[in-house]
Amino acid sequence: MTPSDREAQRSVNQPGNASDRGAQRSVNQPGNETPKIRLRSLRKSFGAKRVLDGVDLDVRANHSMVLLGGSGSGKSVTIKCILGLITPDEGLIEIDGQDVSKLSRRDRTEMRDRIGMLFQNGALFDSLPVWENVCFKLLAQKRITRAAARDKAAEVLAQVGLAASVGDLSPSELSGGMQKRVALARAVAAQPDIIFFDEPTTGLDPIMGAVIDGLIVDCVQRLGATALSITHDMASARRIGDDAAMIHKGQIIWTGAAGALGNTGNAMVDQFARGEREGPIQMELRR
């Protein structure tokens, strides 16, 4: 391989180069027209408050989608509907072209087993050591023995830059950045083909946020997984996303390349991405 070839390869593998990652994946996934996740006319109300008001969204297979939106816009409810934690009032949810609502209980369980989740605050179990947290799903499903789980945890911890000795610590002994990395290790330990990330850089300093984003990109690419993330962090969105979408008042108002955020031509999206006080999005008064 010539020096120029090596440089080209490095540019594709850089976490911050979202447009190149998307182009490379498109080349590597010919004829892959069916979205990994497809939402149509998704609606959900809680009492008189309608949170989702006809959400339409496609998440491409083997790509990373970032879902943006203000507090209360419906981001978390959208993910909870896909996961089956909340039942939508109306609408279609498809995974790999299958209508989730028409699956048997067994098939739905098997589908959920293919999904990993990184929760906003890590959500580690304080009563369990790190190695059990990392392999919790594998142990619960009896896919691995406790003896083998220690070795597996060490392997996955290494993938997120942590030593095997961290496995014997309790979550309370870890810094915020280490807790986030352990939570990421748990999310990918079962080798899911869909991973959800809920505000992955919340509470982290800018450098650690960039580290976590790089690890997310590495893990998703290594697994060949499809990712859907929700975040308010625009730098993070550009680093981890191939595609982006914005939800406002329960509807998707824009989709496009994550690298275009801030210069989309959509006034609401650009205001949100730039963090501008003045613009079409105004803070609503609480009643």
Q: What is the DSSP string of 199-226?
A: STTTT--HHHHHHHHHHHHHHHHHHT-E
Could you tell me the domains of the chain? Answer: 35-114+194-200+225-272 (3.40.50.300)
Residue 83: other Cβ atoms inside 10 A: 15
- Residue closest to 62 by CA, chosen among 236, 223, 261, 239: 223
pLDDT, tens digit, for every residue of 163-222?
Answer: 999 999 999 999 988 999 999 999 999 999 999 999 888 888 889 899 999 989 998 999
Calpha distance 264→68 (Å, rounded): 14
Maximum alpha-carbon separation in the chain? 65
Residue 35: other Cβ atoms inside 10 A: 19
Calpha distance 105→111 (Å, rounded): 10
Site of tokens 């998440």: 59
pLDDT, tens digit, for every residue of 219-243?
Answer: 899 999 999 999 888 889 999 999 9
Question: pLDDT below 70 — which residues of the chain?
Answer: 1-32, 283-287
Cβ burial, residue 62 (10 Å; 0-12/13-18/19+): buried
The whole-number pLDDT of residue 99 equals: 92
Percentage helix, strand, coil, to 5, in the chain? 45, 20, 35
Is residue 79 within 8 Å of 118, Cβ to Cβ? Answer: no
* Predicted model pTM: 0.82
The whole-number pLDDT of residue 31 equals: 46
Check residue 283 and report its DSSP letter: P
The whole-number pLDDT of residue 92 equals: 95
The whole-number pLDDT of residue 284 equals: 60
The whole-number pLDDT of residue 200 equals: 87
The whole-number pLDDT of residue 176 equals: 86
Here the tokens at position 85 are 């934690």
Calpha distance 157→188 (Å, rounded): 10
Here the tokens at position 113 are 């087993």
